A and B are shown apart, each in its own frame.
Chain A
């Protein structure tokens, strides 16, 4: 089973609104990452938050991490139509070189203009 599970599965908002996506995971992690995928394309890394961090910002993105609840959230502020994509959280285990990232099922975000 997948390590990360995103919520909601799909989200539809108007341009200019904020979008919040949540991710829950099951085991301890070194870090958690968020990726974006435009339809049928490759995934693109957005942001990484380490297990000892609680919040991180990058442009219009804000990520929080609560290791006690094993959850993370991704907030996209002032959304644009171009933000329409699928968003995935990914977690890794504590392996020296074999750092496989396990991806959640993703949240499909649609931003209407």
Chain B
């Protein structure tokens, strides 16, 4: 157990639907990252939050949104789902170190949420 909890583990839904993936970071970690892993795109960075604020954005579609709550858990919302959204969605957390140690973030990953869109 990595300490990062993701729910649900598996999710099957239909095109056009909306789902919410949930992540609880490891105790003490302030930063949460979301990644999408698919066979054709590999591991793609979606978005990062630090202590409730968005800090970095990657290849996140407009149909996707995320937030980090005051208790530091995070949710990734996927809407108007398409077949191509089927993937493993990982949440990772880290202690975002302040300078001068910034840049040495080691990520702890959750087990992932496997989304299948039919």
Tell me the A residues contacting B by CB distance below 8 Å.
2, 30-31, 33, 35, 40-45, 48, 50, 88, 90, 92, 94-106
The residue that B104 contacts in the complex, of A30, A90, A96, with Cβ under 8 A, is A30
User: 6 A–B contact pairs at CB < 8 A?
Assistant: A2-B42, A40-B88, A50-B104, A99-B94, A100-B45, A106-B42
Given contacts A2-B42, A30-B102, A97-B96, 9 further A-B contacts (CB under 8 A): A42-B110, A43-B107, A50-B104, A95-B55, A100-B33, A101-B107, A103-B35, A104-B42, A106-B43
Mask for B80-110, Cβ within 8 A of A = 1, else 0? 0000000010101010100100111111111
What is the size, in residues, of chain B's interface with A at 8 Å between Cβ atoms? 31
Contacts of B55 in A (CB 8 A): 95, 97-98
Query: Which of B88, B90, B106 has the most CB atoms of chain A within a 10 A radius of its CB?
Result: B106
Contact of B25 with A by CB under 8 A: no
